[in-house]
Structure 1
Amino acid sequence: MILNLLVLRCKNLETSKLFYEQFGLNFVKEKHGKGVEHYSTYIENLVFELYPLSSAEAVCSSRLGFCLKNIESIVLNLEIHNQYEFNGKVIYVVLDPDGRKIEIS
């Protein structure tokens, strides 16, 4: 099995896009048929999309993890919520604009 789609619902689409772009992601604006405008990017075979949060939806407490190059320069620009060591690596935990925990290693 291969995970090929991840959609995050966001309170403020532009703010979330800017947050995730810090990890090196490049989003394109999309709209399918009569659907809402959203942002999309590829991470290898995974489509990662940011959609606006509707008034009937709640932000989930999902947790994501990203393995990044040049982590030192990236974490300088982020507020570290927590950090811990796992398998000899330092894992930094930051919060995205919607309060989801994002692990960076």
Structure 2
Amino acid sequence: MNNISLSLVVLRFTDLERAARFYESLGLKFIRHRHGGGPEHLSAELGGCVFEIYPQSPKEATTLGTRIGFRVPSLDAVIMALSDFPAAIVTPPQESPWGRRAVVSDPEGHRIELVQE
């Protein structure tokens, strides 16, 4: 069990394109996918983990309680890139036991912890 690693994270959104613009501001690069008869969604590769954003279906539970985190090369650059999302900053950049960190909220309300590498 020592070789366990995270391989997939899926979040659901009512506005997929707005979500994609938000996460692209963090530095993610998406490609469009569709598996069989499933919905078209967006997928980004992150160091061995796949991060996907799916459209929210009325039949499926929301992912709003999910909190995720990313290590970023420059926290200041990411915060500046989020200027199109002025309500996104929950906790501005500050020093923490884990390094320089901020908490932001995506357009759907998922909380994201950003830590500078």
TM-score (norm 2): 0.81
Q: Please report the RMSD computed on the Cα atoms of aligned residues, expressed in angstroms.
A: 1.5
Distance across 1 between alignment mates of 2:43 and 2:81: 23
Pick the structure with more helix per residue: 2
* 1:18 matched to 2:21: yes
Q: List gaps (5 residues or longer) in structure 2.
A: 83-87
Kept in 2, the 8 Å contact 1:13–1:50? The answer is yes
* 1:39 matched to 2:36: no
What is the total number of aligned residue pairs between the two structures?
Answer: 105
* Letter in structure 1 aligned against 2:106: D
| Percent of pairs with identical residues | 36
Displaced runs of 4 or more, over 3 A: none
1:7 aligned residue (5, 10, 29): 10
- Pairing 1:75-90 to 2, within 5 Å after superposition: 75-78=79-82, 79-83=88-92, 84-87=94-97, 89-90=99-100
Distance across 2 between alignment mates of 1:59 and 1:47: 16
Q: List gaps (5 residues or longer) in structure 1.
A: none
* Letter in structure 1 aligned against 2:25: Q
